[in-house]
């Protein structure tokens, strides 16, 4: 039996393959060798974890995910070439089974919010204790969520598709987008909204699409829930 470029004999080889497949496979992406080596050393303390690939920038992280299909990709927020937000978005698009954990240097509301909207289900600061980092990996391996070092004011509300909407960010939408979301929350259709605001139906659709993208919403029902939670309309 051949695994990679190695010939493996009989039952022992099959057992090795089964053990490898049962492990949580992790890709580490950071431009600093000392960070990658420290995280690798921590991961290697667990027999059920393994580092399957490393990357030094965002492009390498995306390409490495496509090649190795890790269970989890741990990304530095400030990756060169392609930052952690955009790398997260591309990884989640091309490999939905791969969970993404942002490994951040600091607590930051905007970075946290944008990372989660891009598809990250973990946000951990690098100064966290080792056991917290391991706990985050365990949570993501179960396709759960783990957010430590939570930035002040970043209240999270989980919606049905596992993405997050924030009702505490009045600047998440432009004034026009908020107005359109309010009218959607009141049950009005695109044509009626266009008539009320004196704009074209296509413009309404464009603002609606932009709002859904910013909020991570995929249905009218989720926009209505956001409108209610943020106080745009009364339930």
Mean of the pLDDT values across residues 226-235? 74
Q: Examine the pLDDT at 70 and tell me if it is beyond 50.
A: yes
Range in 5-9, 60-64, 74-78, 96-100 the model is least confident about:
5-9
What's the pLDDT score for residue 53?
96
Q: List pLDDT tens digits, range 138-191.
A: 999 999 888 875 544 444 443 333 344 544 454 578 889 989 999 988 888 999
Domains of the chain: 2-154 (3.40.50.2300), 165-229 (1.10.10.10)
Q: List pLDDT tens digits, range 105-136.
A: 887 766 777 787 788 889 998 888 899 999 99
Q: Examine the pLDDT at 2 and tell me if it is beyond 80.
A: no
Residues forming a β-bridge with 49: 24
Pairing of strands 24-29, 6-7: unpaired
What's the pLDDT score for residue 152?
40
Do residues 185 and 232 touch, judged by C-beta distance below 8 A?
A: yes
Do residues 85 and 61 touch, judged by C-beta distance below 8 A?
A: no
Mean of the pLDDT values across residues 27-39? 95
Q: Which residues contact 76 (CB under 8 A, 6 or more apart)?
A: 29, 30, 31, 32, 35, 84, 102, 103, 104, 105
Tokens of 126: 């690098």
Q: Examine the pLDDT at 86 and tell me if it is beyond 50.
A: yes
Please state the separation of Cα 114 from the chain's center in Å. Answer: 9
The confidence band for 10, taking pLDDT boundaries of 50, 70 and 90, is low
What's the pLDDT score for residue 6?
40
Pairing of strands 2-3, 157-158: unpaired
Average pLDDT, the chain: 81
Mean of the pLDDT values across residues 79-103? 93
Higher pLDDT, 185 or 4: 185
Tell me which residue has tokens 């603002």: 207
- Grouping H, G, I as helix, E, B as strand and the rest as coil, residue 219 is coil
pTM (two decimals): 0.61
Q: Examine the pLDDT at 234 and tell me if it is beyond 50.
A: yes
């Amino acid at each position: 039996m051949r695994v990679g470029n190695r010939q493996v004999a009989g039952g022992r080889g099959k057992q090795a393959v089964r053990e490898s497949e049962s492990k949580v496979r992790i890709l580490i992406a950071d431009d600093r060798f000392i960070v990658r080596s420290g995280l690798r050393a921590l991961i290697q303390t667990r027999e059920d974890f393994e580092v399957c690939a490393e990357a030094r920038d965002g492009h390498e992280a995306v390409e490495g995910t496509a090649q190795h299909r890790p269970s989890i990709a741990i990304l530095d927020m400030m990756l060169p070439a392609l930052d952690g937000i955009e790398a997260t978005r591309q990884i989640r698009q091309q490999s939905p089974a791969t969970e993404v954990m942002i490994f951040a240097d600091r607590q930051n509301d905007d970075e946290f919010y944008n990372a989660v909207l891009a598809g990250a289900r973990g946000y951990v600061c690098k100064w966290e204790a080792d056991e917290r980092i391991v706990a985050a990996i365990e949570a993501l391996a179960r396709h759960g969520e783990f957010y430590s070092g939570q930035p002040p004011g970043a209240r999270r509300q989980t919606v049905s598709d596992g993405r997050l909407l924030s009702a505490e960010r009045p600047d998440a939408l432009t004034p026009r987008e908020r107005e359109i979301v309010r009218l959607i929350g009141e049950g009005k259709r695109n044509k009626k909204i266009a008539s009320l605001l004196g704009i074209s139906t296509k413009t309404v659709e464009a603002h609606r699409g932009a709002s859904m993208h910013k909020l991570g919403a995929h249905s009218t029902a989720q926009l209505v829930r956001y409108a209610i939670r943020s106080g745009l309309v009364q339930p």
